[in-house]
Structure 1
């Protein structure tokens, strides 16, 4: 009885071992573990409109350009492709940027590359750059020949005119040195139309020191605009222990991408300037006139316009009061 049991167990162990070896060898015998690599793979670069091999773009039309790098057959491994800056006068990170490394993932056949044209709003001559895609990828079964893309970037002139209204001033309160901005002195600048009506443009009538105004085509169609100031809050300046002084208003004007010689500072005429004794809400005076004509901006003082005579008309007073009422702070 014992001998039969031993022989039976020995037979079972032998069969188990045979089955185990068979399972281990089966993938190799059937070829299931083999990785097949596609041969004679070719590549193409497809430009996504409006991208072309060579183009000239205006910096003002900043944006993204794309292309697709395609291979004819998917591979079982990742393929890495570098994009190189070959030459150019433009500066990467300021004038343009691009995807430097592309990855075609295993078992896929394409990747999208990006090129960005940036707007730095700096007056510059025409600049250029050339990119090279691939050229250094050469695996045993595929190669990616070099493809170049060229850009010429033309200086872009902003559609907007940016104005900064400055009214800060240092003074001494008794023996204490102070500034208007420091004490919270608040001066607003309202935009009136050619007939001295409130336009509802209150960007420069906030709580800034200085105040900022963007003259854009959307808000300033062709026409004439007059800027008047309003002392919203003198913050007790007229009661401080300081001799009376004039508060001059200057207007810095700047157009992005424009010749620096076209930018500068406009000084308000002295006869319209407030003083430290002017009470808030008691005086509304002329600062500057802006004439907009098809993208051309002209700044004027009171002399060549009718503002000098109209400024005392009740229309101005009513317009500023209306603007004050509508301008919620």
Structure 2
């Protein structure tokens, strides 16, 4: 009888304890120590040199930044989208930007980036307008619409690129061949206004075609004459083919600017019978191609009519300059 009473008393105490714990947990339902600030206002702050509206040169490619600030920090992340509102520029080719921004919990700002891209392609002025915020109400934060406008003007590369072409197809007996295919080797040397070798042998490297980059670092303001030198004819004069003219053309291009082709004047051309460096005076291995005038970043191509070239007084000097270039050129 004693044992039954003790067991009953223990069971009653246990049930009372469980009831107390259950009621204590239920009283906490719905309570939280996290408080969300109400009526939080967001603003967009431009980081210099960024402004609401600007015109930029794509050559000065780089990053522009702005900040989105909120008046009170939130205990949760705030997500914000940025979109292209209008414009003619192409995202990924002309510009790029952070499309999704996150103001992290317990912080009050985030930085957005806009990148201008230099694509080195000649284009007309292009535009784009980005919209930040607007019709956004996230986590109690209202961010009024703000726009940033860009006009991108064409950027011009510093360098002028030249490609010297002398390729031509011909028939040796009954076999079709090409000058580049047989290893025909022409070099192009740069002489200054006084017909001195300047030591630039970029376009004298056994290439077909040969390439030359005219850069401000290597070409100071002044006049430069390009002369060709037949380095190796690879047996062309002895081949069973009718005599033909070796054509020389110069493709020129400047990133972000115009491009085109300059054709050597016929009076300076030579033929397939040219022997090479050692030959008679009436069949010289070198002659004039084109003149380049450099003036504060402006490049002008001229033919012999626009600049004085080989004449009776300079022919010997030019020959000496070409010989000097050939001896100093390390292929």
Scaled to the shorter chain, the TM-score interval is: 0.7 to 0.9
Quote the offset at 1:286 in angstroms: 1.3
**Residue 310 of structure 1: CA displacement?**
6.1
Equivalent pair of 1:286/1:311 in contact (CA under 8 Å): no
Question: Unaligned regions of 5+ residues in structure 1, if any?
Answer: none
The CA distance in 1 between the partners of 2:41 and 2:138, in whole Å, is 11
Residue of structure 2 in register with 1:269 after alignment: 265
SS at match of 2:321: helix
Matched, 1:184 2:183: yes
SS of equivalent residue, structure 1 residue 309: coil
When structure 1 is superposed on structure 2, of 220-229 and 96-105 the one drifting more is: 96-105
State the alpha-carbon separation in 1 of the partners of residues 222 and 271 from structure 2. 31
Distance 1:285 1:311, change over 3 A: farther
The answer to whether the aligner puts 1:78 opposite 2:108 as a matched pair is no
- Could you say which residue in structure 2 is the equivalent of 1:42? 41
Structure 1 contact 129–151 (Cα < 8 Å) conserved: yes
CA distance in 2, matches of 1:67, 1:75: 20
Q: CA deviation at 1:320?
A: 2.5
Q: Specify whether residues 327 and 77 from structure 1 end up closer, same or farther in structure 2 by C-alpha distance, changes over 3 A only.
A: farther
What CA distance in whole angstroms lies between the structure 1 residues aligned with 2:214 and 2:163? 11
User: Does the residue aligned with 1:299 lie in a helix, a strand or coil?
Assistant: strand
Tell me the equivalent position of 1:223: 222
Indicate the residue corresponding to 2:103 in structure 1.
Answer: 104
How many angstroms apart in 1 are the aligned matches of 2:98 and 2:232? Answer: 52
Q: Evaluate the alpha carbon distance shift between residue 186 and residue 68 of structure 1 in structure 2; reply closer, same or farther with a 3 A threshold.
A: farther
**Aligned 8 A contact 1:285 1:311 in 2:** no
The aligned runs of 1:1-329 (5 Å cut-off) are: 34-258=33-257, 263-282=259-278, 283-309=285-311, 313-329=315-331
Q: 1:238–1:103: structure 2 CA closer, same or farther, 3 Å change rule?
A: farther
**TM-score of the pair, normalised by structure 2:** 0.81
- Within 2, Cα distance between the matches of 1:80 and 1:46? 17
Q: Distance in 2 between matches of 1:214 and 1:271?
A: 26
RMSD over equivalenced CA pairs, Å: 3.5
> Which shifted more, 139-148 or 179-188?
179-188
Q: Structure 1 residues 228, 145: closer, same or farther in 2, change over 3 A?
A: same
Check 1:207–1:77 CA distance in 2 against 1; reply closer, same or farther (3 A cut).
Answer: farther
Distance 2:321 2:245 in 1: 25
Q: How far apart are the structure 2 equivalents of 1:61 and 1:310?
A: 48
Aligned length: 318
Which residue number corresponds to residue 282 of structure 2? none
Equivalents in 1 of 2:145, 2:230: separation in Å? 65
Measure how far apart 1:234 and its partner are. 3.1
